[in-house]
């Protein structure tokens, strides 16, 4: 089958490859159905970004795109690229503005029948307790600069020491909630100012806290390892590093723009601004990005603890009866120093995941013991009116995608188009008819995030499942959500 404009061919059922041309150093590889690919070809901006990423100095194997691909800054959202740790570059566009935007899954011992009569009250109390919306602040207190430094450099361990969660939580957080390369001294005064009062805040846009019911189990063994069962009440948290991470990205895009010229990097798009990883600029960005990543993990840790306290208060349950616990926490927007097998040899690379999720195979040394036999939990949210999915990573992901998979549904409409489509509609009532109770700060956010604005996440997840990259474990159905 031939495709228009872009030199692309089908490799197998759901894998397409853009053959290198022009200044591409590696092929582009896209995971998609035929229908999805046609949609991408009709508006080829995301595919052009896949091509652009393939120009990055030091890129290994492929410029990758997951089936939730859509246009982003520099990299497409849903893009993955690994660059040689010694000779390659690092690009803030491969991470994004919301550094370590990610997903956290917490579980309870409760079943749907035990919460449905007080679900309205639960959502109201969560909305009161957890700050949401643009500029939301003061979830716990305004931090001092010294406290923010400890969050940025020590990560989740510091907030646990302050009483937010348990030490056992660290084992089921990516990187145990701490990037070791963090250096607060390379973070700007403006980023510090923005971070002081945003720990434990949800923010706005597509960020949410959602109450879900385990609707279907596909893999009973993996589900049992995660402590999941049919009709169970679980909590999904989606947020990132807030204004702290946004400012760090903004600051370093300016630095990287100058660095690209300084090091004579020939890049097809200025949004791909980059610097050699081993350069002072590259090292400073990596250290600052690590600070933002540590803030994001800590942010989700505090929000989870606030949710736990709210559950206890609303249902008047002991810890023994509630059985509230963290299942896993994964990152979506991050660059990581990792070791992967390339051309038969172990190699250290910088893996950029921009709107993509890490998906480690069973027995990987970075996995906690409880998940060694089944693989890393992968958390893939849908929109607030449909399903979300729990999956696991595979050996094939390690071979083909640097241990990466999709991160969500992927947008069909821009935020502006979604707002126009939502004019005159009562989306809270529409969601209630679907059986989902919604609390949100503004109508605009609801319109931006309505179900029609997104692809059907099930089709995205099924592509990765059929490709053997991440395998389905369970499906979650939303029953309540709070948004900014």
For the chain, residues with pLDDT lower than 50 are: 1-3
pLDDT at residue 426, as a whole number: 86
Tell how strand 275-276 and strand 89-90 pair up: antiparallel
CB 84 within 8 A of CB 338: no
Task: Report CA-CA distances (Å) from 308 to 311, 469, 480.
Answer: 5, 33, 15
How many residues are there in the chain?
A: 484
pLDDT at residue 2, as a whole number: 42
Q: Where are the beta strands (DSSP E) in 222-287?
A: 232-239, 275-276
CB 397 within 8 A of CB 403: yes
Q: Where are the beta strands (DSSP E) in 258-303?
A: 275-276
Distance of CA 353 to the CA centre of its chain: 9
pLDDT at residue 200, as a whole number: 95
Task: Report CA-CA distances (Å) from 373 to 152, 360, 368, 402.
Answer: 32, 11, 10, 20
What residue spans define the domains of the chain?
A: 102-483
Q: Which residues pair with 380 in a beta bridge?
A: 389
CB 436 within 8 A of CB 384: yes
Take residue 158 and report the two structure tokens written for it: 């510091």
DSSP per residue over 124-190, as a string?
HHHHHHS-BSTT---SS-PPPHHHHHHHHHHTHHHHHHTTSS-GGGGGGBGGGG--TT--GGGS-HH
In 3D space, the residue among 246, 248, 293, 303 whose CA is nearest the CA of residue 132 turns out to be: 303
- In tens, the pLDDT along 429-480 reads 888 888 899 988 877 777 777 777 777 899 999 999 999 999 999 999 999 9
Angle 431-436-439 (CA atoms, 0-180°, nearest 5)?
80
Take residue 463 and report the two structure tokens written for it: 């592509």
Helix axes of 45-53 and 34-42: crossing angle, nearest 10 degrees = 90
Catalytically active residues, by annotation: 407
Q: What pTM was computed for the model?
A: 0.95
Superfamily of domain 102-483: tRNA-splicing ligase RtcB (3.90.1860.10)
In 3D space, the residue among 112, 121, 113, 479 whose CA is nearest the CA of residue 311 turns out to be: 121
DSSP state of 479: E
pLDDT at residue 138, as a whole number: 64
Rounded Cα gap, residues 326 and 227, in angstroms: 10
pLDDT at residue 219, as a whole number: 98
Task: Report CA-CA distances (Å) from 129 to 7, 124, 236, 423.
Answer: 52, 9, 16, 29
Rounded Cα gap, residues 151 and 298, in angstroms: 7
Q: Sign of torsion, CA 176 224 481 331? A: positive
CB 479 within 8 A of CB 437: yes
Burial class (CB in 10 A: 0-12, 13-18, 19+), 218: middle
DSSP state of 411: B
Angle 282-285-289 (CA atoms, 0-180°, nearest 5)?
140
């Amino acid at each position: 089958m031939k495709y228009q404009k872009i030199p692309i061919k089908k490799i197998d059922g759901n894998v397409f490859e853009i053959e290198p041309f022009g200044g591409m150093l590696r092929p582009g590889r896209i995971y998609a159905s035929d229908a999805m690919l046609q949609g991408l070809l009709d508006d080829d901006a995301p595919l052009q970004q896949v091509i652009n990423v393939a120009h990055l100095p030091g890129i290994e194997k492929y410029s990758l795109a997951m089936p939730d691909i859509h246009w982003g800054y520099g990299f497409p959202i849903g893009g993955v690229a690994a660059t040689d740790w010694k000779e390659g570059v690092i690009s803030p566009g491969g991470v994004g503005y919301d550094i370590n935007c990610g997903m956290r899954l917490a579980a309870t011992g409760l079943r749907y029948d035990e919460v449905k009569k007080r679900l309205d009250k639960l959502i109201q109390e969560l909305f009161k307790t957890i700050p949401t919306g643009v500029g939301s602040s003061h979830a716990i207190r305004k931090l001092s600069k010294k406290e923010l430094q400890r969050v940025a450099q020590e990560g989740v361990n510091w907030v646990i020491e302050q009483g937010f969660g348990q030490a056992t939580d660290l084992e089921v957080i990516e990187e145990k909630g701490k990037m070791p390369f963090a250096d607060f001294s390379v973070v700007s005064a403006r980023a510090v100012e923005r971070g002081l009062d945003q720990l434990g805040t949800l923010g706005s846009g597509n960020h949410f806290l959602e109450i879900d019911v385990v609707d279907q189990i596909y893999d009973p063994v993996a589900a049992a390892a995660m402590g999941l069962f049919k009709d169970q009440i679980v909590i999904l948290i989606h947020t990132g590093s807030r204004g702290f991470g946004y400012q760090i990205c903004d600051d370093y895009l300016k630095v990287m723009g100058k660095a690209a010229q300084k090091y004579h990097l020939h890049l097809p798009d200025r949004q791909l601004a980059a610097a050699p990883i081993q350069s002072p600029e590259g090292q400073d960005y990596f250290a600052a990005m690590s600070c933002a990543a540590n803030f994001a993990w800590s942010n989700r840790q505090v929000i989870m603890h606030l949710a736990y306290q709210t559950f206890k208060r609303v249902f008047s349950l002991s810890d023994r009866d509630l059985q509230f616990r963290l299942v896993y926490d994964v990152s979506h927007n991050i660059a990581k120093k990792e070791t992967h097998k390339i051309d038969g040899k172990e190699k250290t690379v910088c893996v950029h995941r921009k709107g993509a999720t890490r998906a480690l195979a069973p027995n990987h040394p970075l996995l906690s013991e409880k998940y060694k036999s089944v693989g890393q939990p992968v958390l893939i949210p849908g929109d607030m009116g449909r399903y979300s999915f729990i999956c696991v990573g595979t050996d094939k992901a390690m071979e083909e995608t640097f241990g990466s998979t999709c991160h969500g549904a992927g947008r069909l409409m821009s935020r502006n188009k979604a707002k126009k489509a939502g004019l005159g509609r009562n989306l809270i009532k529409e969601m209630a008819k679907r059986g989902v109770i919604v609390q949100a700060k503004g109508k605009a956010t609801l319109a931006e995030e309505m179900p029609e604005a997104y692809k059907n996440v099930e089709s995205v997840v099924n592509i990765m499942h059929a490709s053997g990259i991440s395998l389905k474990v369970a499906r979650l159905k939303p029953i309540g959500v709070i948004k900014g």
